[in-house]
């Protein structure tokens, strides 16, 4: 897992590939899983954000050989995503995602 604040190449690729996905036709989960399959990634958690003003869902993912952790947010319209590297991120769920990634690398 990368310890710096700049997103890894895999996290940038994840964001670009999701931007090119047809979220309306595929749905968030399918688009995410298809993208992760291409990036040697996996979902750490995927949950609803009932009280968030900007997003309806968040998925934490680990991608690439270093298992870089990212948060992928789905907007309320269901038509676009926003991706953030978890390393150096101040959101509480970022730390939770990093802890989940540690569990899979310790196995």
pTM over 0.85: yes
Question: What pLDDT score does 106 carry?
Answer: 65
Question: What pLDDT score does 104 carry?
Answer: 83
Render pLDDT for 56-77 as a digit per residue (tens, 0 to 9): 999 999 999 889 999 999 999 9
Q: CB count, 10 Å around CB of 36?
A: 20
Render pLDDT for 4-27 as a digit per residue (tens, 0 to 9): 467 789 999 999 999 999 999 999
Q: Provide the β-strand partners of residue 69.
A: 62
Render pLDDT for 18-59 as a digit per residue (tens, 0 to 9): 999 999 999 999 999 999 999 999 999 999 999 999 999 999
- Averaged pLDDT, 74-83: 96
Q: Which residue, 100, 101, 43, is CA-closest to 72?
A: 43
pLDDT at 99 over 80: yes
**How far is CA 4 from each of CA 7, 19, 51, 71, 94, rounded to the nearest angstrom?**
8, 24, 30, 15, 14
């Amino acid at each position: 897992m990368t310890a710096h604040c700049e997103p890894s190449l895999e996290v940038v690729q994840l964001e670009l590939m999701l931007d090119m996905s047809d979220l309306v036709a595929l749905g968030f989960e399918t688009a995410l899983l298809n993208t992760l399959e291409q990036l040697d990634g996996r979902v750490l958690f995927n949950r609803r954000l009932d009280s968030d003003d900007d997003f309806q869902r968040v998925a934490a993912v680990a991608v690439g050989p270093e298992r870089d952790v990212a948060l992928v947010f789905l907007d309320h319209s269901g038509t676009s995503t926003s991706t953030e590297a978890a390393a150096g991120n101040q959101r509480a769920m970022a730390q939770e995602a990093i802890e989940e990634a540690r569990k899979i690398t310790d196995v």
